[in-house]
Amino acid sequence: MTTLVFVQRFLNDYARNPVNLLLLIVVPTVFVLAVSGELASFAKLLGGPEGPAIELATAGWAAGFMAGVAMYFQTATTRGTDRRVVIAGLPAARLALARLVTGGCLAVLAAATALLALVARTGVADFWRAFAGTLMFAAIYIAIGAVVGVLVRNPLNGSVIVLFVWIVDVFFGPAMSAGDNVATRLLPTHYVTLWMIDLPSGHSGPVGELGWALIWTASAVGAACALIIARTRTAAGLGRSPRAGSRRSQTAAALRAAWRDNRRNAALWALLVVVPVVFILGVYVVTPDQPISIVLHENGENITRRLSLIDPYGATMVPVAIASLAALIGLFGVLQSRNGDRRAALAGMRTSALLSSRLGILTVFVLVVTGVALATSALIFSPVQWAGFASANVLIALTYGFIGALLGPIFGSVGGVFVVFMLAFLDIGIVQNPMLQPEPTAWSRLLPGYGGSQVLIDQTFTRSFDEVVPLLVGLGWLVSLGLAVVATYHRATRPARPVH
């Protein structure tokens, strides 16, 4: 009975921010309706299995990502509270069960929403298989989110890790890849995907795909429960103090403080290197070397050129990785510093100095991510114009860094992760992708990634520069978003004026 009371309290706490609850419905729906067909096309391009059954996996992917992020914040941000509850007398096992049941309730909502969206879009031949598979996806990612929440307390690092696991799991899994690699069998939803889309693996033995899927699910949830119990025995804290002075000295001091604070985050620096390297090289490994035709603009004319699939796929996946990471960096860069910056402003720091330090650190992180991604992509393919290719990636990265900084205060950490990742994935990975959209559509021109993506494709595959208008559009987005970030930050941080 006590466990159910805590589950109700945890759910009420989650629902206190109605945006979080709304996004559990909106994000899976949009993801399935907008992406399932495109990802099925991707699977076909990569030599993976074909047919409408592949679209079933998108419901599981959507539910898994939502469940993983929601459970991460359920775990990472409640360590101190849970420890005090255990000290007050609640058995740690009951508390862990309450947290997992809470995550399960959120996952069921996300899974049901994703599946209903899939039914509305294409219909489902075997509903109960699809429903069970989607729930197993969600359960495994509940465990992943809980494990990351126990081990990684910094929300930016934790969100990047959950996102990284999800990307590797999706793009290297059996629904998107033609090859059967022993290493990919260790992916968390490998057997769940095989069973859900009814694709015999030939390596599941007498246990079968369903048996291994259930083993994975039970083991993951059990491990997560054990770690949640163990985490109630740990506690820690951190702090920082600002300095004051002239405008110039305040800006320099704020930059030094922000740099020291972020320099200590060794895990983040490692993730900024590991995530782009593994993602881009992994894309190269699973992409078949087969011809594909894409439409290009050169010397004012439309031309069709046949290329190896590796080149356009590699070129388009680089900005996907960069935009996703930049958006998360911008989001948490503002959220994590918001309270400290308010106190600093009350103590006399100028908001312009504080904002300069935040944008300076954001720019450093964006350039690091972009540099790592470009160096890795150089091992796979060589764009025709390296300078233009690099500049387009920087434009996309800064644009999405500003988007993250702008949306963070609006949606919060949980909702912000959902929104910025969905926007980056849909915009850069799907809508602006020349392999899926030969010509920009009317609504793709309205998205923030349009300008940078058009310049990127132009500079990657042609020797001329024909995308002046898209470049101006991209720069317009960058300036507009930058001004919006300045305005919202100043309004949120400056001390309130005294009332006379």
Are 175 and 192 a contacting pair, CB within 8 Å?
A: no
pLDDT higher for 266 or 131?
131
Residue with the bigger pLDDT between 437 and 66: it is 66
Cα 36 from chain centre? 17
Given a cut of 50, is residue 361 above it in pLDDT?
Answer: yes
**Residue 75's pLDDT is what?**
86
pLDDT tens column, 70-107: 889 888 888 888 888 888 888 888 888 888 889 889 88
SS3 assignment for 360-391: HHHHHHHHHHHHHHHHHHCCCCCCCCHHHHHH
pLDDT at 354 over 90: no
Helices (H) and strands (E) in the chain, counts: 17, 2
Q: Kindly report the average pLDDT of the chain as a whole number.
A: 81
For strands 291-298 and 301-308, give the pairing: antiparallel
Check residue 228 and give its pLDDT: 83
Q: How far is residue 434's CA from residue 458's CA, in Å, rounded to a whole number?
A: 11
pLDDT of 481 above 70: yes
**Tally of residues, the chain:** 500
Find the helix or strand (DSSP H, E) in which 294 lies.
Answer: strand 291-298
Rounded average pLDDT over 464-472: 87
Q: What token pair was written down for 222?
A: 């059990």
Closest CA relative to residue 390, chosen from 465, 318, 481, 297: 318
**Model confidence band, residue 144 (pLDDT cutoffs 50, 70, 90):** very high
Mean pLDDT on 199-215:
81
CA torsion 194-198-201-206 (nearest 10°) is 100
Nearest CA to 100 out of 111, 92, 112 is that of: 92
Q: What is the percentage of the chain residues whose pLDDT exceeds 90?
A: 11
- Per-residue pLDDT tens for 379-393? 887 888 888 899 999
Of the two residues 416 and 247, the one the predictor is more confident about is: 416
pLDDT at res. 263: 63
pTM, rounded to two decimals: 0.69
Orientation angle between helical segments 310-335 and 155-171, nearest 10 degrees: 160
Q: Per residue in 304-344, pLDDT tens? A: 888 887 788 778 888 988 998 899 888 887 776 777 777 77
CB distance 333 to 434 below 8 Å: no
Looking at residue 224, its amino acid is A
- Comparison of pLDDT for 163 and 263, the residue scoring more: 163
Q: What is the pLDDT of residue 413?
A: 80
398-417 confidence digits (pLDDT tens): 999 999 989 888 888 888 88
pLDDT, residue 238, reads 37
Here the tokens at position 310 are 């590796």
Q: Residue 488 class from Cβ within 10 Å (0-12 exposed, 13-18 middle, 19+ buried)?
A: middle
Confidence of residue 396 (pLDDT cuts 50, 70, 90): very high
Helical spans, DSSP H, in 46-91: 53-76, 79-87
Token duo for residue 283: 């894309």
- Range with lowest mean pLDDT among 171-180, 291-300, 379-388: 171-180
Both tokens of 409, joined, read 């205060």
Q: Name the β-bridge partners of 296.
A: 303
pLDDT band at 243 (very low <50, low <70, confident <90, very high): very low
- In the predicted structure, residue 1 carries a pLDDT above the cut 60: no
